[in-house]
Amino acid sequence: MGKAHDASLRLGIAGLGTVGAGVVKIIQEHAEILAKRCGRAIEITAVSARDVSKDRGVDVSGYDWVDDPVALAERDDVDVVVELIGGSEGAAKDLVEKALAGGKSVVTANKALLAHHGYALAKLAEDHGISLAYEAAVAGGIPIIKAMREGFAGNDVFAVYGILNGTCNYMLTAMRETGRDFDVILKEAQEAGYAEADPTFDIDGIDAGHKLALLAAIAFGTRPDFESLQIEGIRKITAEDIAHAEELGYRIKLLGIAKRLNAQVMQVLEPCLVPLDNPIAGVEDVFNAVYVDCDSADTAMLTGRGAGEGPTASAVMADVVDLARGAKIPTFGIPADDLAVPEWMDVNDTVSAYYLRLQVLDKPGVLADISAILRDRGVSIEAVIQRCRDPHKPVPLVITTHQVRHGDIQAVCAAFCKLECVVDEPCLMRIEAL
């Protein structure tokens, strides 16, 4: 086993992908300044990854190589396990559970693991008097976990919301700037390395949903509950929707929104129309942004790169430095035993204005039929866009509404689908004034 000084904080790193290699690089390049800032050295004693021969752009030959990452939890020369494997089950979960049960603090970037098992892992950490830290799990280089657990600790938080996935934000930006549709932009994003070969977690909102579940837990003192989260991704959005939104004075963003409404919590992840004059509308490309709405500090927005080697590795090191300094904070801001089982608001009971796009046959009486359905269900129209392009083909009909209950607008959409003049499933998006 590698040699370590008694005063050092000794790390065992599991996972040497982009982020893991970035962590190694920071420790190697900034060892002296880290030691000054922490009052002790930070060193790596052992590492684990799938392929020992892979060139990762950093030299790991000076560290002990461990084939089984779970074995890092048992090493006497590892004080802190850094888990960068990913995934809610398997080796990542086994390693974190074993490390915590064995009295070793854990630093992780694994939002899926915490979204699904956060409460149990937080309790395990606190029962053993150690830390489970995860700044890198949410919004990359934006220190949002530290801000919410520490910076806003004196506040009553009413809401937390934002852009939590850089891939989706990049794609929506590219669709707006080029006028090209989803499938074309997705292929370009994959070729540029902004989207994975299997982009499901990103474009279907799962990745951002994991992050929102963690932010909601900190904001409201509740147990993370990913299973109760209402999620919709960006697959159905067209360049036409984006152009219509701009014409109406909005920009489409995939937003995670968690709000406390009386004794209930609303938690949704979905594309929304945001007014162009709202700062979050100007957050473009791969950048993330998180708003925290609270009493004493009012509203604050943090923005920055949400992924990538540098930002995410920087967030991992923020947690490592805290541990080296002796800081210890409950995983979700309050003791695990005090985390409440949340009472989630039924999304059907939420109230908002909406954007609605229909593909309709261009013939007399269509608008009258659609207006009658809206009237009969008490939905008030705010604006309509209808332009005839080709009398022989379906044309888009865009409607924005005043405030309406979500369940009622869903019933309206179901009624539209029964009309012979409506030829495709309606596209419905919330308009969020924020």
Residue 62 CB neighbour total at 10 angstroms: 11
Q: At what angle do helices 18-29 and 309-325 cross, to 10 degrees?
A: 60
Q: Which phi and psi angles does 88 have, rounded to 5°? A: -85, -10
Specify the DSSP element, H or E, that contains 173: helix 166-178
DSSP state of 362: -
Q: Name the catalytic one among 111, 211, 253, 259.
A: 211
Furthest-apart CA atoms within the chain: distance in Å:
83
Which is nearest to 122 in space by CA: 38, 259, 221, 23?
Answer: 221
Q: Is 211 part of the annotated catalytic residue set?
A: yes
- Nearest Cα neighbor of 317 from 15, 31, 27, 47 is 27
* DSSP-derived 3-state class of residue 61: coil
60 closest CA partner among 84, 86, 27: 27
* Tokens read off for 183: 């499938």
Residue with tokens 């009971």: 349
Distance of CA 309 to the CA centre of its chain: 17
237 near 182, Cβ under 8 Å?
yes
Sequence-separated (6 or more) residues with CB below 8 Å from residue 195: 167, 171, 186, 189, 202, 203
Residue 171 φ/ψ, nearest 5 degrees: -65, -45
The DSSP code for 71 is G
Is the CB of residue 182 less than 8 Å from the CB of residue 235? Answer: yes
CA distances to 261, 266, 337, 350 from 346, rounded to whole Å, are: 11, 8, 26, 7
- Whole-angstrom distance, CA of residue 260 vs CA of residue 206: 22
Q: Burial-class residue 50 by CB neighbours within 10 Å (0-12, 13-18, 19+).
A: exposed
Structure tokens at 366: 């269509």
Tell me if 193 sits within 8 A of 310, measured CB to CB.
no
Ramachandran region, residue 404 (left: φ > 0; alpha: ψ -120 to 50; beta: rest): beta
The residues that are catalytic are 211
